[in-house]
Amino acid sequence: MIFKRDIIGCFFLLIICVMLSFGVNALSPNGIALRGQWNPDQGVVMAGANKPHAVDVMQINNPFKVKRLLESGPAVVLDVRRPDIYDLGHIPGALNFPLDDFEEDEKALPSKITPEDEIIVYCAGVTCQDSHTFATRLVEMGFTHVAVYAGGFAEWEEMGFDVAVQGIDP
Amino acid sequence: MSNLFRSKFKFKNRVEPGSMGLGRQTSLIEWVLRLFLGCTFIFSSWHKIVSPDQFATIVYGYDVFPHQIINVLAIVVPFVELVCGISLITGLLKRSGLLIINAMLAGFIFLISFNLIRGHEFDCGCFSLGETKGVWSSIWLLVRDLVMLGAGIYLFRLFDKKDRL
């Protein structure tokens, strides 16, 4: 049987939870914003930090723009997914620099790209935030022309664009 | 009249053979269930508190909640799990803590069933972030939550029984 005191106790506990959670979130370095970006049409979906970022990375939401940049210019495309997933299929010409191995990537990156290069970073899709994390680190390392392809590989494949498999570019 | 009163009095105070053992057994079951549910909720809250951004993405993946409240849910829900787990183990407002835990379990069961019925794959984010998706994984989750809800309801009835004594 549920008594009135149980219901009052529930409210009391919930008030403690709300105060504690917002307090910890405000002070924690991992805290998130009260409202996130959850509209896939506007780019990568993410909770967002509770403090404004020092680095704001540009996003490309148009797959045709990425294709155009790849075909026409000297843009370097970086795939930050795991190597086994990269081998199954990736954007042609994309270099694999998994976010999980960033320490190793950091050493190898200067031999593959220069700070002047136009760099496009992508991962699985709009729900994947690894491309953002990787791009932010690149900007912090001194690379200036860095953008994230928000739709990622899922959108690229969906658009029916060419896909390279196991390092063999079409 | 006095005989009736005496018989009633005797009945209330009579210690049945073996009832002490039964009471102890009930207490043991109560403790085991309190520890099981409390620890499960505390344990499952931890990774969500440490990585609220990833938990928010998981909440988004359920594809049920309005976008405006996803972050608030990702901030508050783990602490509800933590506080209610602690309340259940320590015994402070344990009935209320258990009520909230049961309500949450009912909510999780509803969410999992809803996504299973409409064929929407999702990552539950229950004990670790990035658990495998799939129908069988969802069914397993559903069974797990149903068992825990059963344990929660039984525990609440035990609390009731104890309060009546």
Mean pLDDT of chain B: 84
Question: Given a cut of 50, is residue B4 above it in pLDDT?
Answer: no
Chain B residues whose beta carbon lies within 8 Å of the beta carbon of residue A2: 99
Residue of A nearest to B153 (CA): A1
- Between A82 and B128, residue with greater pLDDT: A82
For position B37, what pLDDT does the model report?
97
Positions of chain A with pLDDT under 50? none
Cα Rg, chain B, nearest whole Å: 21
For position A114, what pLDDT does the model report?
84
Asked if B53 and A25 come within 8 Å (Cβ–Cβ), the reply is no
Smallest Cα distance from B52 to chain A, Å: 7
Cβ partners under 8 Å of residue A38, min gap 6? A45, B60, B67, B70
Q: What is the pLDDT of residues B39-90, one digit of tens each?
A: 999 999 999 999 999 899 889 988 999 999 999 999 999 999 999 999 999 9
CA dihedral B15, B16, B18, B23 (to 10 degrees): -60
Asked if A47 and B53 come within 8 Å (Cβ–Cβ), the reply is yes
Which phi and psi (to 5°) does residue A76 adopt? -105, 130
Question: Given a cut of 60, is residue B6 above it in pLDDT?
Answer: no
CB B29 within 8 A of CB B159: no
Asked if B78 and A21 come within 8 Å (Cβ–Cβ), the reply is yes
For position A70, what pLDDT does the model report?
86
HSE-up of residue B11 (Cα within 13 Å, Cβ side): 6
Candidate ranges B1-5, B7-11, B92-96; pick with highest mean pLDDT: B92-96
B146 alpha-carbon distance from chain centroid: 10
CA angle centred on B148, ends B147 and B151, rounded to 5°: 90
Closest CA to A151 of A169, A127, A132: A127
Q: Which residue has the tokens 């996803």?
A: B70
Asked if A13 and B87 come within 8 Å (Cβ–Cβ), the reply is yes
Question: Given a cut of 80, is residue B23 above it in pLDDT?
Answer: no
The two structure tokens encoding residue B92: 């402070």
Residue of B nearest to A45 (CA): B57
For position B114, what pLDDT does the model report?
93
Cβ-based interface (< 8 Å): residues of B facing A? 49-53, 56-57, 60-61, 67-68, 70-72, 74-76, 78-80, 82-84, 87, 93, 95-97, 99-100, 160
**Alpha carbon distance B109, B145 (integer Å):** 6
pLDDT bracket for residue B2 (50, 70, 90): very low
Chain B contact probe: residue of A13, A39, A99 with most B CBs at under 10 A: A13
Smallest Cα distance from A100 to chain B, Å: 14
Q: What percentage of chain B carries pLDDT values higher than 90? A: 60
Asked if A20 and B56 come within 8 Å (Cβ–Cβ), the reply is no
Mean pLDDT of chain A: 87
Which phi and psi (to 5°) does residue A148 adopt? -105, 135
For position B47, what pLDDT does the model report?
92
Which phi and psi (to 5°) does residue B18 adopt? 90, -10
Candidate ranges A40-44, B15-19, B23-27, B142-146; pick with highest mean pLDDT: B142-146
Chain A contact probe: residue of B47, B79, B80, B86 with most A CBs at under 10 A: B79
Question: Given a cut of 60, is residue B20 above it in pLDDT?
Answer: no
Neighbours of B11 (CB within 10 A): 8
pTM, entire model = 0.77
For position A45, what pLDDT does the model report?
85
